[in-house]
Amino acid sequence: MPTVVDCPTCGKKVEWSEKNKYRPFCSERCKQIDLGAWAEEKYTIPGTAPTDPLEDDKQ
């Protein structure tokens, strides 16, 4: 029995198999929508800004 997942973009049920070249998405359209969201920085990973090592030398 194949694994079925929800498309991250539209929520449609999708079979997770090699036959689905867009997995985990249901279609190329949903895949492109997700890619566009990453490009527009709608998804972020929380964290702090890195410190500048040259600033540490000035103290």
Annotated binding site: 7, 10, 26, 30
Binding residues for Zn(2+), by number, are 7, 10, 26, 30
Burial class (CB in 10 A: 0-12, 13-18, 19+), 26: buried
Residues forming beta bridges with residue 5, ordered by sequence position: 14
